[in-house]
Structure 1
């Protein structure tokens, strides 16, 4: 599979100031959208539109065995040190909850309250290949 890095760059740039919104622009939809831009395949196709709130997202993720299991069911896990640009990164927030972002290189990018937020690559605890 060929990775379209230009499409990935355009996807990330187009969401630079998009505020966080459950089911529209949260860590899962952002990561899936980036994978779709990069590969042309939507890993979230079956679940898209099934949540609009934190409670709905929590119920869906729990029914899938947790976020790590849900992502692992559609993408191939890789060691964080082997993650490439465009791969999905898992990191833990201050409350220990798993969050998703996209590997940019030395940084991870994902949605925040007022737009994109970036973290150092060292924050990544899990990773999945985009394809």
Structure 2
């Protein structure tokens, strides 16, 4: 097993996550269907019609692939940008919140249906050699190199 080291050269602090050890199946076709259905959805808070924020988009993709909606614990608590900031700040930020419910993995090992984060702090879905996130005008695909970190269920 590879020994992980953080950017400051220290080993990572062990994080107890809710889904570690849970065995889930993966439906490889489900992610494509999920993304196709949401191709024209725009960025928006609150889960309104044809909108979703990056956390809801990522969590929905994971649910489509595995049947587990890992980020609902957080996304169900906000309906606005200010609400999302309040909730995520209480959990130490987006990356820390995701790490509470998903297992952090090396971005190079992320599989189709895993969640990643870009340098801008946006959550994206791993599609294969690309990652997919939501923008104000719909879904945006970026090269996998855009990943800063990743998580799996």
The normalised TM-score by structure 2 is 0.79
> In 2, are the aligned partners of 1:77 and 1:128 still within 8 Å (CA)?
yes
Matched, 1:30 2:57: yes
Residue aligning to 1:112: 135
Matched, 1:86 2:109: no
Alignment: residue pair count: 126
Q: 5+ unaligned residues in a row in structure 1: which ranges?
A: none
Question: Counterparts of 2:131 and 2:84 in 1: how far apart (Å)?
Answer: 22
Which of the numbers 34, 39, 44 marks the counterpart of 2:71? 44
Question: Counterparts of 2:143 and 2:73 in 1: how far apart (Å)?
Answer: 31
Of 106-115 and 44-53, more deviation after overlay is shown by 44-53
User: RMSD over aligned Cα, in angstroms?
Assistant: 1.1
Question: Counterparts of 2:28 and 2:131 in 1: how far apart (Å)?
Answer: 15
Q: 5+ unaligned residues in a row in structure 2: which ranges?
A: 1-23
Of 72-81 and 41-50, more deviation after overlay is shown by 41-50
Q: Map Cα deviations across residues 68-113 of structure 1 (whole Å, 9 max, x no partner).
A: 11000100000011111111011022xxxx1100011111101100
Residue aligning to 2:146: 123
Question: Counterparts of 1:86 and 1:4 in 2: how far apart (Å)?
Answer: 9
> In 2, are the aligned partners of 1:23 and 1:29 still within 8 Å (CA)?
no
Q: Which has the larger radius of gyration?
A: 2
Residue aligning to 1:53: 80
Question: Counterparts of 1:69 and 1:106 in 2: how far apart (Å)?
Answer: 25
Q: Which has the higher contact order (CA 8 A, sep 6+)?
A: 1
The normalised TM-score by structure 1 is 0.91
Q: Which stretches of structure 1, 4 residues or longer, exceed 4 Å deviation after superposition?
A: none
